[in-house]
Amino acid sequence: MSFKVVEQAPSRLNRCELAVPGSSPHMFEKAAKSAADVIFLDLEDAVAPDDKPKARENIIQALHDVDWGDKVISVRINGLDTHYAYRDIVDVVERGGERLDLIMIPKVGTASDVYAVDMMLTQIETAIGRKKKIGLEHIIETALGMQNIHEIAAASKRNESLHFGVADYAASCRAQTTQIGGPNPNYAVLTDPDEAGERVRHWGDMWHYAIARMVVAARANGLRPIDGPFGDFSDSDGYQAQARRAAVLGCEGKWAIHPKQIPVANEVFTPSEKEVTKARRILEAMAIAQKEGKGAVSLDGRLIDIASIRQAQSLVEQADRIAA
């Protein structure tokens, strides 16, 4: 390990993060009763410009009136380049009470963006005597944000998670695609002809670089990497496939833009019985090996070593957190 200790953000389950427009208060109660770990009440892109002031008021009222249970509650403010953002922060934090856990900053581009919001939050929290410090979620969804992701991830002690905003990211990069998340048939290679002269198209994952880069920046700074939206909510298999490949790369969760997507995300980001049993067996086998002074042993015909302990521990810790 490096001499530098990576401080971990507060530990929270973040398997499914449900997006709920602030302009649709009739959805709040249902969201509160859903199985999502985190809910973000949106003031940004799901809310039309004329509805922003009302949406703010809806959210402030709901932060006091709705029984959110043990859900983590976040509010997505408008971009810092708009004239809505300052009022989103001031009104929601000053009047929203202690139930608000996180502020989500969309289209964050530089570490100074984070600094500016941190400064405002610190002033408001001090002025109103807030007990709990508000954490920050950052949506990486512009070329600028992706370029500066490491500085953004390290920019504040409030930082908790990075999110891949695939729709705006595609727009910012001028990617030739219009769907929200998911693969694109044009991102493919052709194999050489086989014996029968047939060539096969292999689709690639056009988001691989972005998600992998986000996972590295998040983990190197003790934050949760979270995969963003998948627009076609009637395609449950497609959503599941996108969630699984994000999980394999190290993401801890994925957004749901429709309640249908919640159980799928929860299933994908909850380690299976089989995986947990295997991880516990690795820990047991390695404990015995270490007592015997061995660094590596074989289990079920495969080599396991001290790195296997760390992998197994992180899986077991996640399973324990979910079971708690």
Which stretches of the chain bind ligand GLV, using CB under 6 A?
106, 139, 141, 165-168, 228-229
Q: Among the candidate windows 60-68, 159-167, 188-196, 276-284, which touches Mg ion by CB under 5 A? A: 159-167
Gap between the Cα atoms of 22 and 20, Å rounded: 6
Binding site partner of 166, from ligand GLV, Mg ion, none, Cβ cut-off 5-8 A by kind = ligand GLV
Both tokens assigned to 218: 């998040």
Which is nearest to 23 in space by CA: 45, 39, 3? 45
Q: Among the candidate windows 117-125, 157-165, 173-181, 202-210, which touches Mg ion by CB under 5 A? A: 157-165
Both tokens assigned to 178: 């219009």
Binding site partner of 182, from Mg ion, ligand GLV, none, Cβ cut-off 5-8 A by kind = none
| Nearer of residues 88 and 168 to Mg ion, judged by Cβ | 168
Binding site partner of 271, from Mg ion, ligand GLV, none, Cβ cut-off 5-8 A by kind = none
Report the residue from 109, 145, 165, 253 that binds Mg ion according to the rule CB under 5 A.
Answer: 165
Gap between the Cα atoms of 285 and 305, Å rounded: 10
Could you say whether residue 168 binds Mg ion (CB under 5 A)?
Answer: yes
Binding site partner of 154, from ligand GLV, Mg ion, none, Cβ cut-off 5-8 A by kind = none
Q: What is the CA radius of gyration of the chain?
A: 21
| Nearer of residues 28 and 164 to ligand GLV, judged by Cβ | 164
Smallest distance, ligand GLV to C-beta of residue 229, A: 5
Binding site partner of 228, from Mg ion, ligand GLV, none, Cβ cut-off 5-8 A by kind = ligand GLV
Which is nearest to 242 in space by CA: 222, 257, 221, 223? 257
Smallest distance, ligand GLV to C-beta of residue 214, A: 13
Per-residue binding string, Mg ion, 103-142, x by CB under 5 A, is --------------------------------------x-
Cβ–Cβ < 8 Å for 155, 149: no
Smallest distance, Mg ion to C-beta of residue 247, A: 22
Binding site partner of 16, from Mg ion, ligand GLV, none, Cβ cut-off 5-8 A by kind = none
Smallest distance, Mg ion to C-beta of residue 44, A: 7
Could you say whether residue 227 binds Mg ion (CB under 5 A)?
Answer: no
Q: How many residues bind Mg ion (CB under 5 A)?
A: 3
Closest residue to Mg ion in the complex (CB): 168
Q: Is 52 left (phi over 0), alpha (psi -120 to 50) or beta?
A: alpha
Q: What is the 3-state secondary structure (H, E, C) of 286-319?
A: HHHHHHCCCCCEEECCEEECHHHHHHHHHHHHHH
Which is nearest to 28 in space by CA: 78, 77, 64, 82? 64
Both tokens assigned to 114: 């984070």
| Nearer of residues 222 and 231 to ligand GLV, judged by Cβ | 231
Gap between the Cα atoms of 145 and 278, Å rounded: 38
Gap between the Cα atoms of 177 and 168, Å rounded: 11
Which 3 state secondary structure label does DSSP give 285?
helix
Smallest distance, ligand GLV to C-beta of residue 8, A: 25
Smallest distance, ligand GLV to C-beta of residue 288, A: 47
Both tokens assigned to 298: 């074989």
